[in-house]
Amino acid sequence: MAGGSREPGRTVTSKVLSILEAFEKSRGALSLTDIAEKSGLPLSTAHRLVNELTGWGFLSREPNGRYQLGIRLWELAQNTGRQLRDAARPYIQDLFSLTGETAHLAVRSGHEVLYIDRVYGSKRLPRASRVGGRLPMHATAVGKVILAFEEDWVRDAYLNRQLERHTAHTHVDPKRLAAELTQIREQGYATTLEEVRLGSCSIAVPVFHTGRIGAAIGLVLPTSQAATMTRHLPVLRGIAAQIERATARIPLESLLGSHAAGTE
C-alpha cells in the first residue's frame, strides 16, 4: 500500500498529549495546520483528535477557526498544587504590599525553578518570569537559594551540566557558582544582578518544609535598587516563616504532588 509516512509505535495517548503541548511552544491560538506541524501528526489525524478534544472542552475554537487550550483544562489543573498555592497566597500578597515589589513563590522542578505564584502591581514591568513558567536555577535568586539548600546530590548533578548564559552577568562557572551557593547557605539568602535580564535584580530566601528545602520566595526589583535590596530581608524572612508555619501541617506530597515532574 504505497509506503506513506506512517510512524508505527506511536500511541494515541502520545498524539493527544503532543497536541496539547503544541500550545506551550507558541503564544496564542493555532490553526489546525500549525497544530499538525508542531505535534508531528498528519493533518487528518490531527483533525480528528483536535475535534474530539474540542468536544470535551480541552481545546476551544475561536470564531476565526483557530484553536486555543480550553477552559476545561484550566479548571482541572487548578486542583494541582492547590494546597501550597492557596496556603501561601495571602503571605505572598503581604510580601508584595509590604515591599511594593513583584513577589514570587517558586519550587524546583527537575533542573529548573517553576514559578507557582506571583503578585505584582499594576505598573508595567518587564516580566521574565510568569506563573507556570520555568527558568534555570543558576540565573535566578529563587533558584540559587533552592539549589543552595538542596541535598548535595541535587546540587552536584546541577553543577555538572552546561550552565546556560542569559546575559553577560549570568554566573556560569561551576566552581564559582559552587562557592556562591556555599555563601548563600551561610547567609541565608540569595541575590542576582541582571543575570536573567538587564535592568532587574532579585533577592530570595528559602522556605523549609519538614526540615528540607521546599520552596523559595523572592522579590524582583529594578537594577537601580540593587544596592539597597537587602533592606527587604527582614520582611522576606518573616513571610517565609509564616508560610512555613501555614504549610507545616500539610503533608509534603500533597503540596505539589511530588513536584519533580521535571521537563529536561
- Residue in 1, 42, 40, 43 with CA at minimum distance from that of residue 17: 40
Cell of 32: 489546525
Binding site for its own copies (CB under 8 A): 11-14, 16-17, 20-21, 23-24, 27-29, 49, 52-53, 56-58, 60-64, 68-82, 86, 89-91, 93-94, 96-97, 109, 114, 119-122, 130-134, 242, 246, 253-254, 256-259, 261, 263
Q: How far, in Å, CA of 94 to CA of 73, rounded?
A: 30
Of 41-49, 84-92, 147-155, 224-232, which segment contacts DNA by CB under 7 A? 41-49
How near is the Cβ of 77 to its own copies at its closest, in Å? Answer: 4
Name the one range near DNA by CB under 7 A: 30-38, 89-97, 183-191, 248-256: 30-38
Contact characters 205-234, DNA, x per CB under 7 A: ------------------------------
The answer to whether 237 and 74 have CB atoms below 8 angstroms apart is no
Cross-strand partners of 221: 201
17 lies in the site for DNA, by CB under 7 A: no
Binding at 5: pick from its own copies, DNA, none (beta carbon under 5-8 Å per type): DNA
Q: Which of 237, 233, 27, 250 is nearest to 130 (CA)?
A: 27
What does 41 interact with, of DNA, its own copies, none (CB < 5 to 8 A by kind)?
A: DNA
> Could you tell me the smallest distance in angstroms from the CB atom of residue 62 to DNA?
11
Does 4 interact with DNA (rule: CB under 7 A)?
yes
User: How many other CB atoms sit within 10 Å of the CB of residue 21?
Assistant: 12
Closest C-alpha among 228, 181, 215 to residue 105: 215
Grid cell for residue 111? 533542573
List the grid coordinates of 245.
508555619
Q: How far apart are CA 103 and CA 63, in angstroms?
A: 37
Kindly tell me which of 181 and 243 has the beta carbon lying closer to its own copies.
243
Task: Tell the smallest beta-carbon distance from residue 214 to DNA (Å).
Answer: 25
11 binds DNA (CB under 7 A): yes
Radius of gyration of the chain (CA): 21
Residue 4 near which of DNA, its own copies, none (CB within 5-8 Å, type-dependent): DNA
CB of 4 to DNA, least distance (A): 4
CA distances from 155 to 139, 145, 150, 159, 210 (A): 14, 11, 6, 6, 19
Number of DSSP helices (H) and strands (E) in the chain, helices first:
10, 8
Site for DNA in 65-84 (CB under 7 A): 65-66
60 binds DNA (CB under 7 A): no
- By CB under 7 A, tell whether 8 contacts DNA: yes
CA-to-CA distance for 142 and 113, rounded, in angstroms?
7
Binding positions for DNA, rule: CB under 7 A: 1-2, 4-13, 15, 31-33, 41-45, 47-49, 65-66
